[in-house]
Amino acid sequence: MRPLLSLAAAASLLVAQAPVFAEGTADDIGVMDVSLKDSIKPRLGFQGQTQGAGTPNEVGVGGFLPIAVGDNSVFYADVEVNANLADFSGYSSIDNTQVDGVTVSTSSRLGYRWLNDDRSWMFGINAGYDSRPMNTGDAKPWHPIKRRYQHLYLPSIKYAKNPRSVFFQQVAAEVEAVSPTWNFGAYALVPFGDTEQRLNSHYQGGALDTYGLDVGYFITPEINASVGYYYQQGDDSAGNSSGVKGRLAFAVAKGVEFGGTYTYDDAFNARASADLTIRFGGGSHKEKSKEQAKAEEQPQIKELSATPSNRDVRVHDEETCPIDWAICPSYTCKYPTGVSDIQRTGFNT
């Protein structure tokens, strides 16, 4: 509870002390003169992140591809292909089992964004599909010396063995609203298919349903601070919990954004991650006045071609009765769904 209260208090203090961004009218800012057909163009580049709550270390390529640009709206596709890398040594991103590298995940979005009549707000909706193959490595309890063949050492300790490769997938949807000062986002990540899979002799992993709401404040047009709430469920109820999220993002240069995210929930406890997105292109090469260039950097205009967020399949793992049922010490370990009482009795004799 203390981390939740601390995060909420810090966010309130940040917003209270933030300088007020002078919005002015649309004519004052100049956004009414911005031609979306000139400013919204394909944007390609790179992205990467460090591991977080159920999400991997990854680096990849991606792009924003406008399909149809109107006077006040854009219909677009956004795609990413990422190399999922191994977890930091001894620090599992999914709780107990180390994610191993390298696998290739994909994420795709179709979306529609539009401006209101006076261009003071941008609204949007997007939906898509995400995939995540996952290799697994060492798992708790860790052997202090040997990474491979842990189970051959200290036989009184039942080390995890038989790591497996698994595959998860999900559909996702998001709605968003952005003004020069505030931004809001609500999202849903819904896994489907084989959402619960065994990872090794000790642990079973589950892709998490996640539903969240984020509220952000532009301290300046280049700096956005946000707080959020999310609820997650899955992994045979082991991942069920509410959580809070805090994020600070910096547009350090045109097309370059660096961000940091902190989350806290009962399944993963406190997690922190960093991310970097680089996109090239966007906008015509026509000579622009300083006023027009500044208007195009207003958040509600710039976010028309931003890369959607919340793209990863989130995974959590819990301890189950080992595959080698003869070593299962008692009923304290959790049996997978479908194992009968007769089978359980046999496993423990």
Q: pLDDT of 212-222, one tens digit each?
A: 999 999 999 99
- Read off the pLDDT of residues 219-261 as tens digits, 9 standing for 90 and up: 999 999 999 999 999 988 899 999 999 999 999 998 999 999 9
> How are beta strands 165-178 and 182-192 bridged, if at all?
antiparallel
Residue 43 main-chain phi, psi, to 5 deg:
-135, 120
**Which residues are CB-contacts of 329 (< 8 A; sequence separation ≥ 6)?**
158
pTM: 0.83
Residue 147 pLDDT class (50, 70, 90 cuts): low
Question: Does 337 have pLDDT greater than 70?
Answer: no
Amino acid at 326: A
Mean pLDDT value across residues 112-138: 96
Percent of the chain clearing pLDDT 70 (strictly above): 77
Residue with tokens 């003169």: 33
Element (H, E) at 257: strand 256-265
Question: Does 47 have pLDDT greater than 70?
Answer: yes
Predicted confidence at residue 16, as pLDDT, reads 44
Residue 175 pLDDT class (50, 70, 90 cuts): very high
- Domain boundaries defined on the chain: 2-347
Mean pLDDT value across residues 296-310: 94
Question: Does 132 have pLDDT greater than 70?
Answer: yes
Predicted confidence at residue 295, as pLDDT, reads 85
Closest Cα to residue 249, out of 269, 227, 231? 227
Mean pLDDT value across residues 92-105: 94
Predicted confidence at residue 285, as pLDDT, reads 56
Closest Cα to residue 166, out of 189, 134, 201? 134
Mean pLDDT value across residues 261-286: 90
Question: Does 294 have pLDDT greater than 90?
Answer: no
Distance CA 82, CA 107 (A): 8
Distance CA 233, CA 226 (A): 23
Query: Measured between alpha carbons, how far apart are the two ends of the chain, in Å?
Result: 42
Predicted confidence at residue 322, as pLDDT, reads 53
Element (H, E) at 213: strand 209-220
Residue with tokens 């997978």: 336
Distance CA 121, CA 62 (A): 26
The 3-class SS string of 174-202 reads EEEEECCCEEEEEEEEEEECCCEEECCCC
Question: Does 331 have pLDDT greater than 50?
Answer: no
CATH top class, domain 2-347? mainly beta
Decide: 207 and 234 in contact? Cβ < 8 Å. Answer: yes
Distance CA 331, CA 247 (A): 42
> How are beta strands 103-115 and 122-139 bridged, if at all?
antiparallel
Percent of the chain clearing pLDDT 90 (strictly above): 65
Mean pLDDT value across residues 32-52: 94
Average pLDDT of the residues of the chain: 84
Closest Cα to residue 246, out of 221, 217, 209, 220? 217
Distance from the Cα of residue 278 to its chain's centroid: 17
**Which residues are CB-contacts of 192 (< 8 A; sequence separation ≥ 6)?**
169, 170, 171
Predicted confidence at residue 153, as pLDDT, reads 55
Closest Cα to residue 65, out of 39, 36, 41? 41
- Read off the pLDDT of residues 70-86 as tens digits, 9 standing for 90 and up: 999 999 999 999 999 99
Structural tokens at position 267: 């399944």
Predicted confidence at residue 155, as pLDDT, reads 60
Concatenate the DSSP letters of all residues of 98-139 into one string: EEES-EEEEEEEEEEEEE-TTSS-EEEEEEEEEEEEEEEEEE
Structural tokens at position 285: 């090469």
> Which residues make beta-bridge pairs with 256?
253, 278
Distance from the Cα of residue 326 to its chain's centroid: 39
Closest Cα to residue 46, out of 73, 94, 83, 6? 83
